């Protein structure tokens, strides 16, 4: 593990560790002797993700499951949660916590048909809390599903020809892909690659169907070579996230993920190959400088026919090289820091069986969505709706997202696409159907845009359901933006695009560390304020102010907005300005995130 004090060294000056040559330990005794992390033992003993989940579902005395099964159920696309708003009251009355499950779907590329949308809508109203949530992972989540309804919910998802396998857990999770439908050929190539990677790297265990759909146990299921030929008994050291991007839009935030493919286009807009990125990731732990966010390195250029092999090779190198002793340092970003990009690339090329070219030039212009109607180069039309924090629900006195999109799904002839920014695209609308869609959008008060700051915002769920949340996020960010919009308007900046993202904890689900303004929960109504990331998501931010109360966020930012309005150069972005003006230090990458933090000078 590279010490954070080495952040100022160039890769050529760094001294890296020697990579391991053995496959991961899969036997219980050897795992104990090697002092592997607790989750490794759980996986080894699970029988390929079965554990005691089937038995636990039959225990009616509690809405929870065992701690070990709570780790395994993530591989099935679920997290055990409870309503934290009710904790104190229920504890006082000596009641069990108000347990329920969050269920995340696996939807490669975020594309669903109108028929699937209608089924997912019905599930939300029948078994969940009456909402669908579009996530920053380009898929849907359900919240509030109680244990007794889990199998019914999973059966309904299966009936939509969808599933939740590997949407969470130490596996290749939901694969995201560029959604820009104006670039038809490039989008189709990106979507196909995302789908192929998702299908190819899917766990092979039959546990999901056995447990949730009462499928039969596969004979010989204990044989690793039969059940998990790629993953083995212990799967990956930690989560693994894959992205496919198409310049000039970086709306999927390719630099924030373990593995990425950036389309290299010819003059006709066709994909000639893919730049491959490795080692991005957002999560960290407050106060522990050996954990940090990291932007991905652009490693090599792959021709289209080798892309799938490269994806598997990158994942299997991480399988074999990743840290299985210290879970907080187990992501691919730490593997790259430990062994170096050069050694990692050499191993990937060895496993694919050929050398690759160096990366090709490309340009990103931003990581936001394009709202309203966009015409594709194939004559079809695509409408991007702004959905606040991705929460698809009917707002009293406001937009009726759930009812409106249900009505649109009943008449829509194309498909729906979720974006990595939590929004919804009504895609592939024929020209003669635009007026019908527009009428429904107006009838249900759906939003095709928002103010500049709001349309560039993201928030994680946080309280009351996320067990990791230290502070509010989804419920608080809208009112904070109200305040900041007033501040921006007072300085003539109301229409200036600035990215702002908020999370309730430093795990970074809404990717706050690559937002020009990032707010990360420290405790109730307290946040760390980060500034200085790049507008296109290619550079990390830096800690500007620690433990800022909610009431002090606007006073901290207002003088910076004033300075930006007065002293910026033509076309200069806010994140670039605060660095050039000397208010915050520029972050290089990885360990450098924790170096030279805090305000570098007072705001005049």
* Residue of 43, 50, 104, 319 with catalytic role: 104
What DSSP state is assigned to residue 128?
A: S
Q: DSSP readout, 143-206?
A: EEE-GGGHHHHHHHHHHTT-B-TTSSSSSB-PPEE---TTSHHHHHHHHHHHHHHHHHTS---S
Please indicate whether residue 331 is annotated as part of the active site. no
| Tokens 């609308």 found at | 429
* Residue of 380, 509, 522, 539 with catalytic role: 509
Taking the C-alpha atoms of residue 271 and residue 189, their distance in angstroms, rounded to an integer, is 7
Residues linked to residue 276 through DSSP beta bridges, in sequence order: 261, 300
* Residue of 238, 319, 501, 505 with catalytic role: 505
Taking the C-alpha atoms of residue 391 and residue 471, their distance in angstroms, rounded to an integer, is 18
DSSP-derived pairing of the beta strands 176-177 and 140-145: unpaired
* Residue of 74, 460, 522, 542 with catalytic role: 460
Please indicate whether residue 173 is annotated as part of the active site. yes
Please indicate whether residue 239 is annotated as part of the active site. yes
Taking the C-alpha atoms of residue 41 and residue 55, their distance in angstroms, rounded to an integer, is 20
Residue 460 assigned to a binding site:
yes
CA separation, residue 414 to residues 41, 140, 160, 365, 366 (Å): 46, 19, 17, 28, 27
* Residue of 43, 74, 137, 241 with catalytic role: 241
Q: Which long-range contacts (CB under 8 A, 24 or more apart) does 428-435 make?
A: 428/181, 428/376, 428/380, 428/382, 429/380, 429/381, 429/382, 429/383, 430/380, 430/381, 431/379, 431/381, 434/373, 434/381
* Residue of 239, 338, 380, 542 with catalytic role: 239
Taking the C-alpha atoms of residue 398 and residue 389, their distance in angstroms, rounded to an integer, is 15
* Maximal C-alpha separation, the chain: 72
Taking the C-alpha atoms of residue 525 and residue 548, their distance in angstroms, rounded to an integer, is 8
* Residue of 50, 74, 173, 501 with catalytic role: 173
Residue 168 assigned to a binding site:
no
Please indicate whether residue 168 is annotated as part of the active site. no
Assign 3-class secondary structure to 240-278: ECEEEEECCECCCCHHHCCEEEEEEECCCCCEEEEEEEE
Taking the C-alpha atoms of residue 96 and residue 62, their distance in angstroms, rounded to an integer, is 7
Contact 378, 184 (CB under 8 A): yes
| Tokens 């109607």 found at | 373
Closest CA to 189 of 497, 181, 163, 351: 181
Please indicate whether residue 104 is annotated as part of the active site. yes
Cis ω on the peptide bond leading into residue 258 (within 30° of 0)? no
219 burial via Cβ count (<10 Å: 0-12, 13-18, 19+): exposed
Closest CA to 474 of 369, 398, 395, 388: 388
Please indicate whether residue 209 is annotated as part of the active site. no
Q: DSSP readout, 545-601?
A: EEEEEHHHHHHHHHHHHHHHHHHPPTT--HHHHHHHTTSSPPP-SGGGGGSS-S-SS
* Residue of 380, 393, 466, 522 with catalytic role: 466
Residues linked to residue 559 through DSSP beta bridges, in sequence order: none
> Where is the binding site, in residues?
460, 466, 505, 509
> Where is the binding site for siroheme, in residues?
509
> Catalytic positions, please?
104, 173, 239, 241, 460, 466, 505, 509
> Where is the binding site for [4Fe-4S] cluster, in residues?
460, 466, 505, 509
């Amino acid at each position: 593990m590279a010490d954070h004090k080495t952040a100022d060294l160039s890769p050529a000056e760094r001294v890296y560790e020697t990579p391991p040559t053995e496959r991961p330990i899969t036997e219980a005794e050897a795992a104990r002797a090697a002092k592997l992390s607790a989750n490794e033992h759980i996986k080894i003993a699970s029988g390929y993700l079965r554990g005691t989940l089937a038995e636990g579902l039959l225990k009616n005395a509690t809405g929870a499951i065992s701690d070990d099964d709570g780790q395994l159920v993530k591989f099935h696309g679920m997290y055990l949660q409870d309503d934290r708003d009710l904790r104190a009251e229920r504890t006082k009355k000596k009641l069990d916590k108000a347990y329920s499950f969050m269920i995340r779907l696996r939807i490669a590329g975020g594309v669903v048909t109108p028929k699937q949308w209608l089924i997912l809508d019905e599930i939300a109203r029948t078994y969940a809390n009456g909402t669908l949530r579009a996530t920053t992972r380009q898929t849907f989540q359900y919240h509030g599903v109680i244990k007794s309804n889990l199998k019914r919910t999973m059966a309904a998802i299966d009936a939509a020809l969808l599933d939740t396998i590997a949407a969470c857990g130490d596996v290749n999770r939901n694969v995201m892909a560029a959604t820009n439908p104006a670039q038809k050929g490039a989008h189709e190539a990106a979507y196909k690659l995302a789908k192929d990677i998702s299908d190819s790297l899917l766990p092979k265990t039959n546990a999901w169907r056995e447990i949730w759909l009462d499928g039969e146990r596969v004979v010989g299921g204990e044989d690793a070579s039969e059940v998990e030929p790629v993953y083995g008994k212990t799967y990956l050291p930690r989560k693994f996230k894959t992205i496919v991007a198409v310049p000039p839009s970086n709306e999927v935030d390719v630099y924030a993920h373990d593995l990425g493919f950036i389309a290299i286009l010819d003059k006709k807009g066709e994909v000639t190959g893919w730049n491959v990125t490795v080692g991005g990731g957002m999560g960290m732990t407050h106060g522990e400088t050996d954990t940090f966010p990291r932007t991905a390195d652009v490693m090599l250029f792959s021709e289209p026919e080798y892309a799938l092999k490269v994806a598997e090779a990158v994942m299997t190198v991480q399988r074999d090289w990743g840290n299985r002793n210290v879970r907080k340092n187990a992501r691919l970003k730490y593997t790259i820091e430990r062994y170096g990009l050069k050694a990692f690339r050499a191993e990937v090329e060895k496993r694919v069986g050929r050398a690759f070219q160096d990366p090709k030039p490309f340009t990103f212009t931003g990581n936001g969505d394009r709202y309203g109607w966009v015409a594709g180069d194939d004559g079809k039309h695509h409408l991007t709706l702004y959905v606040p924090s991705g929460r698809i629900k009917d707002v009293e006195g406001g937009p009726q997202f759930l009812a409106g999109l249900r009505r649109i799904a009943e008449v829509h002839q194309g498909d729906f696409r979720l974006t990595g920014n939590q929004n919804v695209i009504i895609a592939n609308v024929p020209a003669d159907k635009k007026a019908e869609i527009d009428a429904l959008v107006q009838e249900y008060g759906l939003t095709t845009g928002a103010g500049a700051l709001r349309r560039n915002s993201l928030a994680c769920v946080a309280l009351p359901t996320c067990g990791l949340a230290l502070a509010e996020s989804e419920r608080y960010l809208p009112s904070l933006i109200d305040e900041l919009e007033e501040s921006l308007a007072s300085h003539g900046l109301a229409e200036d695009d600035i990215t702002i993202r908020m999370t309730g904890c430093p795990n970074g689900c809404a990717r706050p560390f690559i937002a020009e303004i990032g707010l990360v929960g420290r405790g109730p109504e307290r946040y760390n304020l980060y500034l200085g990331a790049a507008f296109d998501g290619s550079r990390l931010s830096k800690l500007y102010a620690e433990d800022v109360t909610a009431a002090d966020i606007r006073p901290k930012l207002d003088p910076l907005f004033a300075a930006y309005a007065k002293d910026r150069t033509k076309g200069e972005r806010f994140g670039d300005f605060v660095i050039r003006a000397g208010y915050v230090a520029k972050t290089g990458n990885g360990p450098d995130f924790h170096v030279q933090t805090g305000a570098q000078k007072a705001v005049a």
